[in-house]
Chain A
Amino acid sequence: MADRLLDVRGLVKHFPIKEGIIFQRRKGVIRAVDGVDLFINRGETLGLVGESGCGKTTVGRVILRLEEPTSGEVIFDGKNVYALQGEELRQLRRDMQIIFQDPYSSLNPRMMVGDIIGEPLEVHRIATGVEKQERVFELIEKVGLSPEHYFRYPHEFSGGQRQRIGVARALALNPKLIICDEPVSALDVSVQSQILNLMKDLQKEFNLTYLFISHDLSVIRHISDRVAVMYLGKIVELAEVDELFEHPLHPYTEALLSAIPIPDPEAKREKIILRGDVPSPANPPSGCRFHTRCHKAMPICSKVEPEFVDVGNEHYVACLLVGS
């Protein structure tokens, strides 16, 4: 068996909905993440794909312990992330980094680029002064910027260059895992490909492991080794990338794949147009959460919740049509 770096078991994150200003009462909960199981092997990229509001970003944040989970377990490199405290937790944080979607709001406009990239080194007391500078220059070069960029401010950079700064900052501490939350969604296509290539090169060079969160299926196909498809707080399908794109089993995955416009005017294919909108995670449908929009729904789907099962070849799917 491959070497597992990250193991997520039964992860749940509910956000309370509160009412009132002074005397707050709990009115209900948003079930942002509602029982997610996944693992990532060392050196691979797991793509996490889903539409807005499906909980994919929350999964990333809870794994990093930027949010405390409602329940569930995350084992990172043999350690239980939620059991750690103090110095041990700080150590762990070095090994897990994040790259954010918006390269405009994730960089402090009042800091020089060199200080932004070097800040993690100071926070973790790894390097200061000249030593820090040297390391930062090294990183700047690694991500394809030039040394004079050290002394500039974020507003002087284009979106693609800013995202390179974000990547350099994430690399500063030699992490094992990088959670990439829609890192190329805000970029134009010609720049997007530059960043995707850079991320692939860095992965090879530093043996990085990525959890790559995106709503863009063609980007996911390009970068991932395995892919998990999320819908309303749950993973509905998980498989090796070619397997998932060539033999999707869950009707939602099918619909997603058929809905993407392909840049080929002569491509002939049947589009599956889903009915309606994504339901609210505060009050998800009973049974299979997808049954309200599913084009293959059966009467049983609104009553029984399908289990997430391996149908062979490490292809997992949660659908009553498959497996049983």
Chain B
Amino acid sequence: MSEPILEVQNLRTYFFTEEGVVRAVDGVSLDLRRGETLGLVGESGCGKSVTSLSIMRLIPDPPGKIVGGKIIYKGENLLEKDEEYMRHIRGNEIAMIFQDPMTSLNPVFRVGDQIAEAIQLHQGVGRKEALRRAVEMMKLVRIPLAEQRAREYPHQFSGGMRQRIMIAMALSCNPEILIADEPSTALDVTIQAQILEIMKTLQRERGMSILLITHDLGVIAEMSDRVAVMYAGVIVEYADVKSLFKQPLHPYTRGLLTSIPSLATRSKRLNVIEGTVPSLIDPPPGCRFHPRCPRAMPICSREKPELKEVGENHSVACFLY
């Protein structure tokens, strides 16, 4: 087993709004190892994106604030560093790609210049050299006629192509960690397959670690080595990908896995998780899943279950275990 390159310990990120304090991330711990892909899966509003933005220290303040915890990257706690240090970390050490490639690219600049700008800024090379590397990066993500297309604008690219540009930009400074926040969600399945394939190949070639955030359990199964399942701001289950899908323990994980329609067989009815995701301003006491849990016990509404190891590489936060 390789050592962790990034450790998140008991991270708590709150948003202070007029309606009250939104506990978007409320005590999340995870570790990303060298060369692996860690999947972070959960439904909308569960705090998975806030976790990734906290790692990059990109939480808008106000209203957001990281109120507790540690983020250890290569032995240093990023939460104690100043903005200048973080600017060096972002891009060079940890890079990020987002769900919507259209809003992440500037529509009035040529694509090649945008990639080159990142290289110039982070690597301290001249403009000409930066442009040359930008074209090289575009070739790496398999954009045909890269020299020519580097001179085009974002609107001249399709959704899949734009996402490749984002990957090219993110990888242009050789980061150790790539945080991919729903990288293929906005894309069609055939294009999604292309993007995932490129990410896998580049990871193999460069040995980088990926933190993959998605709501799609199929993508998780295909890409991840280990998986953290998030619900309402906390991690409820944390395991290697095979045991998670073979033997899900937390009732929420089980509910999720059985509620997706299967491609292989046709069932009469889908399993359902009753109710909806709770508000994070006033989350349920005890286990946050208990109001929707089919196996809730009296203790579940009183005490908060801790994430504990129940098997090899398999932890779960539930009183059943």
From 191 to 249 in chain A, residues with beta carbon under 8 angstroms from any chain B beta carbon are 191-194, 196-197, 200, 215, 217-219, 221-223, 241-242, 245
User: Which of the four size classes fits the interface of chain B?
Assistant: 35 or more
Beta-carbon contact of A215 and B188 below 8 Å: yes
Residue B128 lies at the interface, judged by CB distance under 8 Å to chain A: no
Q: Contact: B270 with A277, CB < 8 Å?
A: no
Q: Taking the nearest CB of chain B, how far is it from the CB of A114, in angstroms?
A: 21
> Chain B 227-271 against A: per-residue CB contact (8 Å), 1 yes, 0 no?
000000000000001100110000000011101111110110111
A191 CB contacts on chain B under 8 angstroms:
276
Q: Is residue A155 within 8 Å, beta carbon to beta carbon, of the partner chain?
A: no
A286→B196 CA distance, assembly (Å): 30
Residue pair A51, B188 in contact (C-beta under 8 Å): yes
B127 to chain A, nearest CB (A): 31
Find out whether the CB atom of A257 lies under 8 angstroms from the CB atom of B158: no
Residue of A nearest to B218 (CB): A261
| Cα(A200)–Cα(B266), bound, Å | 13
**Interface mask (B93-126 → A, CB under 8 Å = 1, otherwise 0):** 0000000000000000000000000000000000
Answer whether A215 and B43 are a contact pair too, CB < 8 Å, given A192-B259, A263-B221: no
Q: A residues within 8 A CB of B261?
A: 193, 196, 218-219, 221-223
Cβ–Cβ < 8 Å partners of A197 in chain B = 269-270, 272
B190 contacts A255, C-beta separation under 8 Å? yes
| Chain B residue at minimum C-beta to C-beta distance from A258 | B193
Cross-chain contact B189 with A200 (CB below 8 angstroms): no
**Contact A263-B189, Cβ < 8 Å, known A190-B259, A193-B259:** no
A79: interface (CB < 8 Å):
no
Docked CA distance A44–B246 (Å): 35
Tell me whether A128 is interfacial, beta carbon within 8 Å. Answer: no
**Taking A218-B263, A219-B261, A263-B257 as contacts, is the C-beta distance between A190 and B190 under 8 angstroms?**
no
Complex Cα gap A217–B263 (Å)? 7
Interface-central residue, A200, A217, A265, A273, by most chain B CB under 10 Å: A265
A222–B261 Cα distance when bound, in Å, is: 6
Q: Are B221 and A262 in contact (CB under 8 A)?
A: yes
Nearest-neighbour CB distance to chain B for A32, whole angstroms, equals 17
Grouping DSSP codes into helix (H, G, I), strand (E, B) and loop, the A interface class, with mixed when no group exceeds half, is: helix
- Assess whether A52 is interfacial by the CB under 8 Å rule: yes
Q: A219-B261, A261-B222 are in contact. Are A190 and B255 (CB under 8 A)?
A: yes
Q: How far is the CA of A273 from the CA of B263 in the complex (A)?
A: 18
The residue on A at minimum CB distance from B191 is: A277
**Interface residue from A189, A260, A277 paired with B158 (Cβ < 8 Å):** A277
Question: Smallest Cβ distance from B163 to chain A, in angstroms?
Answer: 12
Flag whether A300 is at the interface (Cβ < 8 A): no
Is A188 engaged at the interface, CB distance under 8 Å to the other chain? yes
Q: How many A residues touch B, CB cutoff 8 Å?
A: 44
The reply to whether A190 and B43 contact each other, CB–CB distance below 8 Å, is yes
- Chain B 154-172: CB-based contact to A (< 8 A → 1; otherwise 0): 0000101100000000000
The smallest beta-carbon distance between A239 and chain B, in angstroms, is 14
Interface centre among A51, A158, A197, A262 (most CB of B within 10 A): A262
Name A220's closest neighbour in chain B (CB-CB): B261
Q: Are A190 and B273 in contact (CB under 8 A)?
A: yes
Q: Given contacts A51-B189, A277-B191, are A242 and B266 in contact (CB under 8 A)?
A: yes
In the complex, whether B217 has a CB less than 8 A from a CB of chain A is yes
Contacts of B271 in A (CB 8 A): 193
Docked pose: A196 CA to B269 CA in angstroms: 9
Could you tell me the distance between the alpha carbons of A190 and B262 in the complex, rounded to whole angstroms?
Answer: 14
Answer yes or no: B59 CB below 8 A from chain A CBs: no
Residues on the B chain within 8 Å of A196, using CB:
261, 270
Residues of A within 8 A of B241 (CB): 265
CB of A161 closer than 8 Å to a CB of B: yes
**Closest residue on chain A to residue B225 by CB atoms:** A265
Inside 8 A of B191's CB, which chain A residues have their CB? 51, 277
Q: Are B256 and A189 in contact (CB under 8 A)?
A: yes
Whose C-beta in chain A lies nearest to the C-beta of B217?
Answer: A263
Is A154 engaged at the interface, CB distance under 8 Å to the other chain? no
The answer to the question of B17 belonging to the interface, with a C-beta cut-off of 8 Å to chain A, is: no
In the complex the two chains form, is A263's CB within 8 Å of B260's CB?
yes
- Please pick, from A193, A218, A262, A277, the residue contacting B272 in the complex, using a CB distance under 8 A: A193
Q: Which of A188, A256, A274 contacts B215 (CB 8 A)?
A: A188
Which residues of B lie under 8 Å from residue A222 when comparing CB positions? 261-262, 266-267, 270
- Known interface pairs A221-B261, A256-B189, A256-B190. Does A262 touch B43 (Cβ–Cβ under 8 Å)? no
Q: Please provide the 10 A-B residue pairs with the shortest distance between their CB atoms, ordered closest to farther.
A: A261-B218, A222-B261, A193-B270, A51-B188, A193-B259, A190-B273, A259-B193, A188-B43, A263-B217, A218-B261
Q: A158-B277, A261-B216 are in contact. List 18 more A-B contacts (CB 8 A).
A: A51-B191, A196-B261, A197-B269, A200-B269, A217-B189, A218-B262, A223-B261, A241-B266, A256-B189, A256-B190, A262-B264, A263-B217, A263-B218, A263-B220, A263-B245, A266-B245, A267-B221, A273-B193
Residue numbers of A with Cβ under 8 A of B are 51-52, 158, 160-161, 188-194, 196-197, 200, 215, 217-219, 221-223, 241-242, 245, 255-267, 271, 273-274, 277-278, 293
13 contacts between A and B (CB under 8 A): A189-B256, A192-B259, A215-B188, A218-B260, A218-B261, A256-B190, A259-B189, A261-B196, A261-B216, A264-B245, A265-B224, A266-B245, A293-B190
